[in-house]
Structures are given as structure tokens and as C-alpha cells.
């Protein structure tokens, strides 16, 4: 499902202009469970963007959901999100 992943990547890049973006497809870990049968993918997203500055966790997640729009309804079954500002991301890794 490389195409689907690219759509996710493009949607996030266009609206959130991340300086770092990792999209890990974990769909195979969930094969066979009820949600996997509906065909949606499982992703784990790590995203670093200046846009998250001054935003709460809830707001950051909503920004991602808004960016993904209709992709959330059908193509994405599950999404784990880690959203950082560049400063937080540096601290995270130190």
C-alpha cells in the first residue's frame, strides 16, 4: 500500500510543513483482527513541525486529523501520533 502511504505523506507535508516526518506502516502487525478486514491501514506517525508551537496535544492531533481529512475515514484504520516542535524533538533525542 505504498500509494496510500504517499497520500498520507503528501497531505501532512502540504498542510503542516514538517521538518521531520516518519510514517511507519504497522498494518501487518494487525492482520486478521476486525479492523484489518475493513482494509484500512495502521500507521505510526512521528511529525516535527514549527506549527505545533504553543498548541496543546489535543490541538496537535486535531491538526493532523484535519490535514488527513477523508483519508481518516476509509484508508486509515488506526493512527498512533507523536507530534513535536523542533525544540521538543531535539530535547526528545538528547
Can you give the binding site for other proteins, defined by CB under 8 A? 30, 33-35, 57-58, 61-62, 65, 72-73, 78-82
Q: Which residues are 42's β-sheet partners?
A: 78
Task: Output the CA torsion sign for 43, 44, 49, 54.
Answer: positive
| For other proteins, the closer CB: 51 or 61 | 61
Q: How far apart are the first and last CA of the chain?
A: 34
Give min distance, CB of 33 to other proteins, in A.
8
Give min distance, CB of 65 to other proteins, in A.
5
Give min distance, CB of 8 to other proteins, in A.
14
Helix (H, G, I), strand (E, B), or coil: what is residue 17? Answer: coil
Amino acid at each position: 500500500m505504498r500509494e496510500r502511504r504517499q497520500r498520507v505523506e503528501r497531505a501532512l507535508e502540504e498542510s503542516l510543513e514538517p521538518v521531520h516526518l516518519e510514517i511507519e506502516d504497522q498494518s501487518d502487525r494487525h492482520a486478521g483482527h476486525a479492523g484489518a478486514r475493513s482494509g484500512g491501514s495502521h500507521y505510526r506517525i512521528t511529525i516535527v513541525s514549527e506549527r505545533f508551537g504553543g498548541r496543546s496535544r489535543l490541538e496537535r492531533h486535531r491538526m493532523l486529523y484535519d490535514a488527513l481529512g477523508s483519508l481518516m475515514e476509509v484508508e486509515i484504520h488506526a493512527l498512533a501520533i507523536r507530534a513535536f516542535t523542533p525544540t521538543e524533538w531535539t530535547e526528545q533525542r538528547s
